[in-house]
Structure 1
C-alpha cells in the first residue's frame, strides 16, 4: 500500500494539476493523506469535489512559529502520523508528478533501499522549465555532514518505506524542516539512494515556503543557529 502525504494551505491555484498527476498513478487501495492548515481559498472545495475515497482530508490547526518552515513541518507531521502505507511519498501542493514517478520509486524501494531521493526539473507558474536539474544547481550528494551544511533532501523528491518512522517521529521541538530531518535520519539508520531520474516538475512561483532552488536570504547568524539546533536534535535522537 502507498500513502502520499501532502500538506495544503491556500494552494488552489496549482492543486488540481498536482492531484491529477498523483491519483493517476495510484491503485484502488492506496491513499492520499491531505493535511490542510486552515486554507481560506478554494483549496478545500477542490479536494472535496474529487469525491475520491483514496483522499483522506485532515484539518490541522496551524501552530505559531517563528520560522515559516515550522508551519509546514508541523502540518506534515500530522499527515505522516496518519499514513497507513508501507511506502510513503512526500508531496507539495503545487508540483506535477511525472507519469512514472511511483513506478520507479517503488522499484527502488523493493530492491532494498529505505529512502529514494530523485532529481527534478524546475518549472515556473506557467509550467515553463527554468532549470533542467535541481541536483545540478544544488550540487546534490549524499552524506550526513554534507547535508547538514548544504541540504540535498527535497521532500517532494523523496519516497521511503515506513521502517524507520519510529526513529523520525515525533519531529524535534526546535524548528527543523521535515524533509532534511527525515532524509538525514534515514541516511543514518538505513540505506538511501540518490537517483538522477527526474520524476517530478518542481514549481517555483515566489510564494513557496522553502527557498530550495533559489539563493537563501537567511543571515549567517540564522544559518549557524539553525545548524547548531539541528545537530543537537539529531544527536539526542540517535544516542
Structure 2
C-alpha cells in the first residue's frame, strides 16, 4: 500500500508583533518536517509586522511553501482571526500558531507521527516551556504553572476528556494541531468561547483529543500576551472568579448555555435522567471531580487549591439557569462520585 503523507498547514495570527515575530517565522521554516502552507491573518498591524511577512512570503515561496497573507480592514480579535485563518487553510493537518513563540525543530514531525498512528485523533496539544521576552527560560513548564495534576491529564487521555474540560481548559492554542475535518463540526466558535477551548471540547466529544506530555514550543511571557501563564495566589484567583463580576457571570452563563446546546446536539448524556440541561453539567462536574479527589496520588494540598474552582463553577451553573435543581444535582453527583470504587 502506498503511504501518503498528510499535508501540513499553519494558521498564524499577527497584530503588532514585529518585536518577536521573526523568531517564530524562522522556527516554522526550520522544521525537520516541512510545512506545505502558512496562512497569516493580520489584524491591522501598524508596526513592521507586514514588512516582515512580505520577506517571509518570499523565503517560504522559494522553499515551495504556499503563503497567504490577509490583512483585515478592521480588527477582528484573535478568536475570529484564528477562525478565519483556519478556514482559509487547505491542508489536512493544521497547526495553530501565535506570533511570539518559537517552535522546536521536530514539532511538526512529532505531531505528524501521532496523527498518522491514530486515525481517530482530531486535536493534539502539548506542554510548553515558559520563556521571558528575551527567550530566557523562566524555569517552569506551562502545565506545571497552571497547576495541572497528572490525574487530569490521565482523564483526558483515557477517553474522559470531557470530564477534565468541564471544569477548566488547559488546552493552549499555541500548542495545538488539528485535523481539518474537525472544522466542519467546530466552526463557528460559540459565543464567549475561545477558539482553542471550543475546538478541544468538540474534539473531546468524539474521543479525538490527546496530548504530548513534553514541551514542543517555547511559550513567551512578556506582559502583552492575549492569554498567558502565571502563578497566582489565592486572593488573585479569588478576584478573578466569575461570581464577583456581573458581566463575567453573564459571559459564563452564555458559555454554559452554548456548551449545553452542543452536548444536546451530539446526544451526550452527562448525568442520570433526573438531571436535564444545565443541572446535568453540575452533576457531572461534582461526580468526576470528587472521584479525582479520592485518588491516592492526589494530595490534600492540590485539592485545597482546586476545590474553590469547583465550587465557583458549580455556582456559575446554578446562576446560569440550573437554579436549585443544579444544587441538588451537584450534591447527588458528589455522593455518587464518593461511592464509586477507587
- In structure 2, stretches of 5+ residues that fail to align are 1-6, 266-342
Deviation of 1:212 after TM superposition, in Å, equals: 3.4
Q: Which runs of 5+ in 1 are unaligned?
A: 65-70
Alignment check: 8 A CA contact 1:62 1:75 kept: no
Q: Deviation at 1:155?
A: 0.2
User: Which residue of 1 is the match for residue 252 of structure 2?
Assistant: 227
Aligned to 1:102: 108
- Matched with 2:42 is 36
SS at match of 1:186: helix
Aligned to 1:218: 240
> Given the alignment, which residue of 186, 197, 207 partners 1:168?
186
Deviation at 1:99, TM superposition (A): 0.8
Higher helix proportion: 2
User: RMSD of the TM alignment (CA)?
Assistant: 2.1
Q: Which has the higher strand share?
A: 1
The structure whose Rg is larger is 2
Q: Distance in 2 between matches of 1:82 and 1:136?
A: 34
1:61–1:176 Cα change, 3 Å: farther
CA shift at 1:148, angstroms?
A: 3.7
Partner of 1:208: 225
Aligned counterpart in structure 1 of residue 144 of structure 2, from 124, 136, 144: 136
- 1:11 matched to 2:20? The reply is no
**TM-score relative to the length of structure 2:** 0.63
1:66-123, Cα deviation, whole Å (9 max, x unpaired):
xxxxx11011111011011100100100000011110111111111122111111000
Higher RCO (C-alpha under 8 Å, 6+ residues apart): 1
Q: Could you say if the C-alpha distance between residues 213 and 145 of structure 1 is closer, same or farther in structure 2, counting changes exceeding 3 Å?
A: farther
**d(CA) in 1 for partners of 2:250 and 2:102?**
34
CA distance in 1, matches of 2:208, 2:122: 5
Q: Would you say the 8 A contact 1:7–1:75 is kept in 2?
A: yes
Q: Distance in 2 between matches of 1:90 and 1:131?
A: 24
Is the Cα–Cα contact under 8 Å of residues 36 and 59 in structure 1 kept in the other structure? yes
Distance 2:24 2:43 in 1: 18
Contact 1:120 1:200 in 2 (8 A): yes
Query: Following the alignment from structure 2 to structure 1, what is the Cα–Cα distance between the partners of residues 248 and 256?
Result: 12
